[in-house]
Structure 1
Amino acid sequence: MSVLGDRLRQLREEKGLLQRELAESLNLSRVAITQYEQGRRVPEVDILVKLADFFMVSVDYLLGRTDIRIMYATTYQPETSAHSNKQSTDILPDKARQCLKDFEEFIHQKYANPKSSQ
């Protein structure tokens, strides 16, 4: 088997999906999914992107170029981030919340635009 095939099968099984169910979800044939998993066929780039999006991993992860499964957001949305973490930060003093906000902005500035941080 190939790295792609192994990872595709592992991700599919973790979701509890049959090959047929995955194929239907992505508008592909079951035979294509079988061939991808067995390493007998390599999906086109657009299919790789569909698979990565479906499993919320990067194309690099599927291809074995990284072992990091987390797919990072392509845009930074501090309001969304702040709202999703609001409950966990409500118990903190004002100064601690401000420190977290400042740190979040610092990280965004440092890594969102790598050329400017060099």
Structure 2
Amino acid sequence: MKQIEVVAAIICKEGTYLAAQRGHGEFEGLWEFPGGKIEPGESSEEALIREIKEELNIYIHVDQWMCTTNYDYKSFHLTMHCYLCSIIAGKLELREHKSAKWLDTNWLNKVEWLPADKEVIQILLHL
């Protein structure tokens, strides 16, 4: 099975978390924490900063590692390294996603998340 390793930003602002809705591809319409693949020679933190700048046009600070999740999709195995992050500059601009929402813990389960992100939601609900 194909192996994919990615990083995800759990961006927190005033007790809310940024959820992004996929705008294309196999999982279009589902919600996720933004991020992407680690390029050769990059650290997880460097990849996360680059991906968030590319996808959302904001600069983040990677505050701390939160968890690593693994999920077997039909055609690949995903390993996702999740980091708590904060915005340090920029204005949010959706470049790849069709929508974004700031959700507090009461609303985290109100959107349809990608399967790999559901484990992260459970961790956030117990922080």
For Structure 1 versus Structure 2, the TM-score category normalised by the shorter chain is: under 0.3
Larger RCO (CA under 8 A, 6+ residues apart): 2
Query: When you count helix as a share of all residues, which structure comes out higher?
Result: 1
Query: When you count strand as a share of all residues, which structure comes out higher?
Result: 2
Tell which structure's C-alpha radius of gyration is larger.
1
TM-score, length-scaled by structure 2: 0.21
